[in-house]
Amino acid sequence: MKPLKEKISITIDSDILEKLREYAENDDRSLSQYINLVLKKHLENIEKKK
């Protein structure tokens, strides 16, 4: 079963958004998929430090 997803609206600095779009394209992912992946890895890193 796929995890449930929710739509949100956020504000991101232009320079960060530009880099995210570039990395997402290079990784052959949508921007949304890439941001989700980045956030997931970041949260995993935080958990490892605890």
- Residue bearing the bigger pLDDT, 34 or 1: 34
Give the number of other Cβ atoms within 10 Å of residue 24's Cβ: 18
Altogether, the residues listed in the chain come to a count of: 50
Chain mean pLDDT for the chain: 95
Give the number of other Cβ atoms within 10 Å of residue 34's Cβ: 19
- Residue bearing the bigger pLDDT, 32 or 3: 32
How many whole angstroms separate alpha carbon 2 and alpha carbon 11? Answer: 27
pTM: 0.84
How many whole angstroms separate alpha carbon 45 and alpha carbon 49? Answer: 6
